Structure 1
Amino acid sequence: MKIVIGAGSCGIAAGAHKVQTAFEAILAEKNLDLTIEQTGCIGTCYLEPIVDLITEDGKKLTFVNVTTADARRIVEDYVLGEDELKDLQISDSDLTMIGKQKRIVLRNSGIIDPERIEDYQAVDGYLAAKKCLTELSPEEIIETVKIAGLKGRGGAGFPTWFKWDAARKSPGKTKYMVCNADEGDPGAFMDRSVLESDPHALIEGMLIGAKAIGANEGVIYVRAEYPLAIVRLQKAIDQARENGFLGNDIFETGFDFDLRIKAGAGAFVCGEETALIASLEGERGMPRLKPPFPAQKGYWNAPTNINNVETFANVPWIFRNGGEAYAALGTAESKGTKVFALTGKVKRGGLVEIPMGLTLRDVIYEIGGGIKADIAFKAVQMGGPSGGCIPASLLDTQIDYAEITKTGAIMGSGGMVVMDENTCMVDMARFFLDFTCKESCGKCTYCRVGTTRMLEILNRITQGEGLDGDIELLEELCYKIKDGSMCGLGQTAPNPVLTTIKYFRNEYEDHIYHKKCTAKSCKPLLTYTIDKEKCVGCGACKKNCPVDAITGEKKKVHEISQDICIKCGKCFSVCKFDSVIID
């Protein structure tokens, strides 16, 4: 029997290392010779720390939300006793989150030890690379990717085979294969999870791509905020090199390819490929005009192919199972699967990989379990700060590139932030625009100045100082910024504002004309009062008010002074008689 502990970033943050220490202590105390191993994140982040007990015959029992005290129970009551600890085991409804998915990119996540190349090889790792290098020509590799219909998963959805083919055909003795692992969308963690849980899948995918375009050098551009991902990726690169999967004369074919990591400083704009190249070259991360495209003149002016982590992680599966098998998944225009980071006001948050073509309702309600506390669903933000808000009326929208784009949002890299009726859509638009405004490199006047002016307007509106004509001014600025910006950051930055105006214009009007936030979220627009019929004069609100804004004698009706009230909400949270009203 062995103990396997989920040790991705989410598991570690939830206490996985403390749980492991507790297991080591109790095993030593009981003189038990059980192996403790680690794995990455299986995607059910809300259940971390997760511990699997695997018997000699392969039977697996999964315990969730494990504490250090639970570690002792598992050893004493289950390993040494007869109690199955049903209260700690994963429930059938939680298993639904995984069971309704189709896992290709996440096929090994939460199953293998990401720091052991032997584990990756045990699930047929590097067999696809061997086939490509020893049996297939570069043209045949590209044709297989074309048949699969794999599109870039970084956001734009551009056909992968086309980029590979363009780099292959570009003249030049030196070519580069680059991975964009600069995942910067708020609420997105798809690439990070692959790097932490299955780094060899990325390496193998890049190796196959390098053979296709004729590159002998590769770079993985990872944001420095992913320290665990960088450590595990570097170990994987070292192991691959030691085992002959990187370096010279790979598989005795005469083909040379090696990889290195570049830790980026965390600029969101470096997700744009030309800005990423500038950063790799030691320059400030700012986009360049295209054409020429990176496939023609990229890193050090050499032909360069850039794909993101998820795109590369699909490649080994395609060559082990065939391009046709991948193309059989999804829709006519969007093949295969897509990984989403499901976050926000959803019951079962985490990583979700689904075949293209499922609906938003399928993901949010069937896989995600619906909205927390069964509050009404309001919208879902797709595509991160460059995406848009899709309202409840479009909940049955199919998830593929074309259908999501029709809503005004974009697929993006895979962020999916769920919002309930208590979310203010004006403030949500302000939040995302604040992010893109700060992350603008400043090269384009429309992006640099335009987003700043838009943010000023949104700040005024959420503070109760909105003016007649602000909505129309925002729309005008949005279209000018989209038309006048050089790169994708500026061209998509207005999307959250445009979609919230399109679907939730009434909320903007309430803020501007009625000075009310219907979601009761924007503090400057809120008023706290006490219901005289319900107040019993217990004094709890008065005692807890940090600015002494509440007056009243014991057992008599209290009152809130609006001139002093800072709208912190403390009175509302401590009142046991529902006498504090937010209006």
Structure 2
Amino acid sequence: MTLTPVLSKYWNLPNSWTLDTYRAHQGYAALPIAFAMTPDEVIATVKDAGLRGRGGAGFPTGMKWGFIPQGPDPDGTVKPHYLVVNADESEPGTCKDIPLMLASPHSLIEGVIIAAYAIRAAHAFIYVRGEVVPVLRRLQAAAEECYAAGLLGSDILGSGYDLELTVHAGAGAYICGEETALLDSLEGRRGQPRLRPPFPAVAGLYASPTVVNNVESIASVPPILRNGPSWFRAMGTEKSPGFTLYSLSGHVARPGQYEAPLGVTLRELLGYAGGVRAGHELKFWTPGGSSTPLFTAEHLDVPLDYENVMAHGSMLGTKALQIFDDTTCVVRAVLRWTEFYAHESCGKCTPCREGTYWLVQLLTRLEAGLGTPADLDKLLDIADNINGKSFCALGDGAASPIVSSMKYFRDEYIAHLERGGCPFDPARATAWAPTAAGEVIR
């Protein structure tokens, strides 16, 4: 399978982020196509293409747009519709939306205009992490270019359609990547997940019908409008069509973004990335960021699409492929992730607030070699009390690496107990070798 650069095709051009460069490569050519269609026809086109949300869940994008209720409420109230782009990329290991917005902000803005037109919204928001100031400035500059060129504001391209775009900086909370917490933050409140129902499509931003989509999902819309659903479906698999960005990081020769059809395998991607660093072997990896269950070398040939990854016990998530070689202590890696989730828990629900705290205490003790065999069962018991029982998916994400690492590397946890500390420390490493987890790649 070969790479399919679409969104990333012009990232290496000089001044790729400017309106002139974007327009020189079919930029904003999809707008007149969309405006020649009715909003419902645009939604139908995205449905026909089979575009699935690129933010983690993989929910069909066109179907999500179609959930927006049309017409007045039963009491006769007519509420505005809103489009919100979730650009709060904060999952450990995930780095696809930020380079996309840095290198090609107009690909996102063109998608925003089309998506907002499709759901009949007059105001759209891009919610960006507050820490990434260069991205924020680049999006704001791109929006100003669009206003000056008549691509935003009143009567866009003479279509009669009006749209205001607001680029909003968040305060840097991981929980605001959850769509309802993001909406609360956007409204000026503390970012915490909402109870659902009602869902955002019915009562989202300012209690009005709202669509929340990921950056890559929205940026994929203009190429679909330009080239048609059949072109998009010619890539990927039947149930997971199209192209997507895979983020390879960690112990690989050439980390970075690799845009490929859905269904590519890690073995193929490692071929493009130069393989695992010289002299070492693949030990474990994440298919969709730290919140997804771990895979090992035995999963090198699992097609990286939504169905196959789930069938093998994990989730495709954000397609953040973190690669760890044989020098990595699994317990230490899982501890670091768990510390992150405990720190970022919003504290709204007891399972997550209390559970992540105690997971860190147990893992800290185990990693230092001070735990007991009973701690291993206690670790799994607490993870089970968090998984599926917390208010949002943060609790599930905290439990996933623990449960999966115990499944594949329980002997490594036991080695910490037997050696009185991490067996990867030089003083202990000579007396212990980890069990091989399937086939390895150099």
Q: What TM-score comes out, normalization by structure 2 length? A: 0.93
Does residue 18 of structure 2 align to residue 116 of structure 1?
yes
| Alpha-carbon displacement from aligned partner over 1:184-203 (angstroms, at most 9, x marks no partner) | 02232211101110000000
Report the equivalent of 1:481.
386
In the alignment, is the contact (CA less than 8 A) between 1:145 and 1:318 conserved in 2?
yes
Question: Structure 1 residue 112: deviation in Å?
Answer: 5.3
Does residue 176 of structure 2 align to residue 274 of structure 1?
no
Report the equivalent of 1:85.
none
Report the equivalent of 2:93.
187
Larger radius of gyration, structure 1 or 2? 1
Report the equivalent of 2:61.
160
Measured in 2, the distance between the counterparts of 1:188 and 1:125 equals: 26
Matched residue of 1:295: which SS? helix
In the alignment, is the contact (CA less than 8 A) between 1:177 and 1:215 conserved in 2?
yes
Higher fraction of strand = 1
Question: Structure 1 residue 105: deviation in Å?
Answer: 2.1
Between Structure 1 and Structure 2, how many residues are aligned? 425
Question: Structure 1 residue 237: deviation in Å?
Answer: 0.3
Report the equivalent of 1:141.
42
In the alignment, is the contact (CA less than 8 A) between 1:188 and 1:341 conserved in 2?
yes
In the alignment, is the contact (CA less than 8 A) between 1:100 and 1:367 conserved in 2?
no
Moved more, 153-162 or 168-177: 168-177
Question: Structure 1 residue 127: deviation in Å?
Answer: 1.2
* Shift in alpha-carbon separation, 1:421–1:290, aligned structure 2, 3 A: same
Which 5+ residue runs of structure 2 have no aligned equivalent?
A: 73-77, 431-442
Measured in 2, the distance between the counterparts of 1:516 and 1:263 equals: 43
Measured in 2, the distance between the counterparts of 1:269 and 1:186 equals: 13
Question: Structure 1 residue 492: deviation in Å?
Answer: 2.3
In the alignment, is the contact (CA less than 8 A) between 1:382 and 1:411 conserved in 2?
yes
In the alignment, is the contact (CA less than 8 A) between 2:369 and 2:418 conserved in 1?
no
Measured in 2, the distance between the counterparts of 1:118 and 1:244 equals: 14
Question: Structure 1 residue 168: deviation in Å?
Answer: 5.1
Question: Structure 1 residue 346: deviation in Å?
Answer: 0.3
- Aligned-residue Cα RMSD (Å) equals 1.7
Write the letter of the residue equivalent to 2:93: G
Report the equivalent of 1:383.
288
Write the letter of the residue equivalent to 2:28: Y
In structure 1, which of residues 244, 255, 267 is the aligned counterpart of residue 150 of structure 2? 244
Does residue 240 of structure 2 align to residue 334 of structure 1?
yes
Measured in 2, the distance between the counterparts of 1:335 and 1:294 equals: 26
Measured in 1, the distance between the counterparts of 2:71 and 2:254 equals: 46
Report the equivalent of 1:104.
6
Measured in 2, the distance between the counterparts of 1:472 and 1:406 equals: 26
Structure scoring higher RCO (CA < 8 A, sep ≥ 6) equals 2
Question: Structure 1 residue 150: deviation in Å?
Answer: 0.6
Matched residue of 1:416: which SS? strand
Matched residue of 2:195: which SS? coil
Measured in 1, the distance between the counterparts of 2:155 and 2:227 equals: 26
Report the equivalent of 1:126.
28
Measured in 2, the distance between the counterparts of 1:100 and 1:312 equals: 24
Report the equivalent of 2:192.
286
| Alpha-carbon displacement from aligned partner over 1:405-462 (angstroms, at most 9, x marks no partner) | 2333322223111000111111111111111111110001000000111111110000
Question: Structure 1 residue 403: deviation in Å?
Answer: 1.7
Question: Structure 1 residue 314: deviation in Å?
Answer: 0.5
In the alignment, is the contact (CA less than 8 A) between 1:385 and 1:436 conserved in 2?
no
Write the letter of the residue equivalent to 1:255: Y
Measured in 2, the distance between the counterparts of 1:168 and 1:207 equals: 19
Measured in 1, the distance between the counterparts of 2:363 and 2:202 equals: 41
Question: Structure 1 residue 163: deviation in Å?
Answer: 0.9
Write the letter of the residue equivalent to 1:384: G
Matched residue of 2:131: which SS? coil
Q: What TM-score comes out, normalization by structure 1 length? A: 0.71
In the alignment, is the contact (CA less than 8 A) between 2:200 and 2:209 conserved in 1?
yes
Report the equivalent of 2:433.
none
Write the letter of the residue equivalent to 1:266: G
Does residue 126 of structure 2 align to residue 209 of structure 1?
no
Measured in 2, the distance between the counterparts of 1:492 and 1:327 equals: 31
The residue correspondences of 1:116-515 to structure 2 (distance < 5 A) are 116-133=18-35, 135-167=36-68, 169=70, 171=72, 172-364=78-270, 366-515=271-420
In the alignment, is the contact (CA less than 8 A) between 1:114 and 1:232 conserved in 2?
no
Which 5+ residue runs of structure 1 have no aligned equivalent?
A: 1-98, 530-583
Measured in 1, the distance between the counterparts of 2:237 and 2:420 equals: 45
Write the letter of the residue equivalent to 1:306: V
Matched residue of 1:340: which SS? strand
Question: Structure 1 residue 514: deviation in Å?
Answer: 4.0
In the alignment, is the contact (CA less than 8 A) between 1:385 and 1:433 conserved in 2?
no
Question: Structure 1 residue 382: deviation in Å?
Answer: 2.7
Matched residue of 1:453: which SS? helix
Matched residue of 2:264: which SS? coil
In the alignment, is the contact (CA less than 8 A) between 1:154 and 1:412 conserved in 2?
yes
Report the equivalent of 2:75.
none
